Structure 1
Amino acid sequence: MSKSIGFYCPHCGTRMHVSSRKKPSPLLHELIVQCRNENCLASFAASLEMVRPIQNSINPNPDVQTGLPQHKRQWELELEHQLKSLELLPEIADEQKNYVEGFISALFHASTIDLTRAQTYRQRLQQIKLL
């Protein structure tokens, strides 16, 4: 297993070099990565985010809240908007509920949300009655 994080150029496959890094939060690093291949020299902006803990620290930093988003991501805002819209509508088409169910499934299968969170969203969706 590698001891460092490696990015590889999508054009030529050469391992890339991190040329600069910003740290907007303790859990997010914004990087500029550059290809080392002299015949390629591509560069990219990359984000490296710690999204959920696998094992909690035995000496946690109280200022770092792992597992709780520092800010709502775009997908979370979209899902909340869809659910609130369905809850407020007097008539709900079956296709609208199917769209939101598909959205929840896609987030779960992409490992963006865990099973517990997916079930919470699904329960909220099931409470909305079709007319």
Structure 2
Amino acid sequence: MARSASYQCPHCSSGMSIRSSRSVHALLRNIYLQCNNYHCSFSAAAILEITHEISPSAKPNPEVKLQTIKELTERKAANDENMENNENG
């Protein structure tokens, strides 16, 4: 069973509930949160974005293009090397 996301109110530190959400596209959702503390009653909007894949899908959507964690790690390492070369020369 999947676990639901847990959010903390930035004002009173109580838990927040997702009241609703709206899909923007396959990788992006707007979520609307409300503080569970009746005396606080803070509400907010947030963005939930899928940024990269950790494990590939067994039924991939050909319209969804995501970098793998390996590609992101290799890219970061390559960029770090370029930064070191620029600092030394």
Please report the TM-score for the alignment, with normalisation by the length of structure 2. 0.74
5+ residue gaps in structure 2? none
Alignment of 1:51-130 (within 5 A): 51-67=51-67, 114-125=72-83, 126=85, 130=89
Larger Rg: 1
d(CA) in 1 for partners of 2:6, 2:53? 21
Deviations 1:37-90 (A, max 9, x none): 11000112211111211110111111111228xxxxxxxxxxxxxxxxxxxxxx
Alignment of 1:27-46 (within 5 A): 27-46=27-46
Taking CA–CA contacts closer than 8 Å with sequence separation of 6 or more, which of the two structures ends up with the larger relative contact order?
Answer: 2
Using the TM superposition, give the Cα deviation of residue 115 of structure 1 relative to its aligned residue in structure 2, in angstroms: 3.2
| Identity within the alignment, % | 30
5+ residue gaps in structure 1? 69-112
Please report the TM-score for the alignment, with normalisation by the length of structure 1. 0.54
Aligned residues: 86
Larger proportion of helix: 1
**RMSD after superposition:** 2.7
Residue identity opposite 1:116 in structure 2: E
d(CA) in 2 for partners of 1:25, 1:52? 15
Using the TM superposition, give the Cα deviation of residue 36 of structure 1 relative to its aligned residue in structure 2, in angstroms: 2.0
Give 3-state SS (helix, strand or coil) of 2:7's partner. Answer: coil
Larger proportion of strand: 2
